[in-house]
Amino acid sequence: MSSRREFLGKAAGLAGVAFVGCSLAGAARAQGRRTVTLRGRRMKVIDVHAHAAVPEAMELGGQKIGVGTNRPDLVLPATLAQRLADMDAQGIDMEALSINAYWYHTEREVAKKICQIQNEKLAEICAKNPDRFVAYASVALQHPDLAVEQLVDGVRKYNLRGAAIGGSVEGLELSNPKFHAFWARVEELGVPVFIHPQGTGAPKEIKQRLQGNGRLDNVIGYPLETTIALSHLIFDATLDRFPRLKIIAAHGGGFLPSYAGRSDRGCITVPAACPGGPHGGLKKAPTEYLKQLFYDTMVFTPEGLRHLAAEVGTSQLMVGTDYPFPWVKTAVDHVLSTQGLSDAEKAAILEGNAAKLLGISTQA
């Protein structure tokens, strides 16, 4: 197995990786790069929720670019110039790239190959553009021992900053004991795990209820998937067992922070349903665990962000855009316009929290 240094050295000049040349990337930036300053200091705005895709790997999993939500502009480096231009226009200096899990149904060797290809390609992109991208490793969580290997390789060999996983794994909750070895290694490495919902979880399980107008399978189904995942990690005591986990929840943590108080009252209201104490044997109230998780800012309104900050603390919040899906193009303004946040808190959300979590230098 090659070392991280050897891999990164090869990545810079790897044949067959069609990175956009400096002249073309420079032309995109020449259209105008928005800079964000607070208290006279230039911010390095970091987006922790941005997507990518590797067509070669997708084909192994029965997926194809241009079909369904597999947008062509997910593919890097083919669309690098456009992505950099879009980042520049929004004031996003760096993206943490992730690939949504579509391989949980595959058998071991296929899953191994999919994740290997994706992690190599993500590492190449980041090595070629270290001032613009970091990435999360893909892991085959349906094969936990393999996922552990891929996590370790991702961090130590490929310089990836953690892992990206779905909100459930083929019907199993992330709190299932099957995944304890994975969580143990995540905690040991001290790296973050980005949880993003996928359509094979709650959206598929309650598909009949989500049909009709409004794209409810995504609008309701995706945040619900995250809500269920986080609730199980809390109530099944995964966060007690692994208290130093650094979990980033997409889409502002789903619906959970908006109605968190109910989680504190459930066991108290019907004690017989929760043996072991007032919160079913947990070491603290359920809402307290929300304050040790991390969240992106994809809650759309200043009041939504103000409320999220009030529930979990500004130290737990980071910019998220969901690029290239066009949910928001004003993620920076969303933070800057939220009432009640100090300049120091806005700086932490735009830059500091993510830089610390992902190991990114903020020095010019």
Angle, nearest 10°, between helix axes 221-235 and 261-269?
Answer: 50
For residues 50-63, give the mean pLDDT.
97
18, pLDDT greater than 50: no
* Three-state secondary-structure class, residue 294: strand
- pLDDT of 10 reads 53
The whole-chain average pLDDT of the chain stands at 92
Q: What is the mean pLDDT of residues 310-322?
A: 98
Cα–Cα distance, 146 to 112 (Å, whole number)? 7
| Contacting residues for 46 by C-beta, under 8 A, at least 6 apart | 92, 93, 94, 95, 96, 318, 319, 350, 351, 354, 355, 358, 360
Contact call for residues 248 and 192 (beta carbons, < 8 A): yes
Q: What is the pLDDT of residues 218-230, one digit of tens each?
A: 999 999 999 999 9
- What was the pLDDT predicted at 28? 37
What does the pLDDT average to over 178-188?
98
pLDDT surpasses 50 at 22: no
| Peptide bond between residue 243 and the one before it cis (omega within 30 degrees of 0) | no
Confidence band for 1, pLDDT divided at 50, 70 and 90? very low
Percent of the chain with pLDDT over 90: 88
The confidence band for 361, taking pLDDT boundaries of 50, 70 and 90, is very high
Residue 19 has pLDDT above 50, yes or no: no
For residues 202 and 225, the answer to whether their CB atoms sit within 8 Å is: yes
Angle, vertex CA 341, rays to CA 350 and CA 304, nearest 5: 85
pLDDT of 363 reads 81
3-state secondary structure of 359: coil
pLDDT for the residue 5: 56
253 Rama sector, left if φ>0, alpha if ψ -120 to 50, beta otherwise = left
Amino acid at 152: V
Q: What is the dihedral of CA 138, 219, 353, 116, to 10 degrees?
A: 10
pLDDT at 9: 54
Residue 3 is predicted with a pLDDT of: 60
**What is the C-alpha to C-alpha distance for residues 151 and 139, in angstroms, rounded to an integer?**
6
Average pLDDT score over residue span 175-197: 98
| Residue boundaries of the structural domains of the chain | 53-358
* Neighbour tally for 209: CB within 10 Å: 12
Please give the distance of CA 139 from its chain centroid, rounded to a whole number. Answer: 13
Other Cβ atoms less than 10 A from the Cβ of 329: the count is 12
Using CA of residue 84, residue 116, residue 153, residue 99, what is the dihedral sign? Answer: positive
The arithmetic mean of pLDDT across residues 323-346, rounded, is: 96
- How does residue 277 score in pLDDT terms, banded at 50, 70 and 90? confident
Give the least confident one: 16-20, 125-129, 165-169: 16-20
Fold of 53-358: TIM Barrel (3.20.20)
